[in-house]
Amino acid sequence: MGQSTNAMLMYGYHLGSGDGGWELHGLGEYGELPAFDWNDPEDEDSEGFQGDAEKKLLADIGGFTEEWTSGVEGYWDRKRAAQARVGVEFDTHCSGSYPMYVLAAKVITVYRGDVKEIDPVQDLTVQPDWDDKLRTALNVLGLNPTQETARWLLCSYWG
């Protein structure tokens, strides 16, 4: 079993985490997340912050509320199509044990031992719809990052 040590370049918003401190406005007295209709850590069906947020985005933006059922054809294709409609994704950095979250419109990952050639014009040009998609996702989730605008973020991952 190996150890992942990755570099990630992401365009989006750093949201932080409960362990490392949330990078959001509107936190509770002790830095905890406010109550959201989509995330209840006490709910046994909760998939955690990232999983619950992804389900909310898939439902509200992607129009996808289907639960996986064995034998149902096309589930993964429908889910991928909904994810494309959402147009943003959550990714984690820091470590597998203590993830910190980024909501991103673009993620470039370089895995340990690899080299990835970056064409700044092709790979780093911010597409016209990225900021709107990120802002829509933040609004749907009710998140208000301390970071004023989306930007390129260079992160590391050890896990």
In this structure, the chain runs to a length of 159
pTM of the prediction?
0.92
1 pLDDT exceeds 70?
no
- What's the pLDDT score for residue 102? 98
89 pLDDT exceeds 70?
yes
Task: Pick 9 or 20 by higher pLDDT.
Answer: 9
Write down the domain spans for the chain.
5-158
pLDDT, averaged across the chain: 93
How many angstroms from the chain centroid is the CA of residue 126?
18
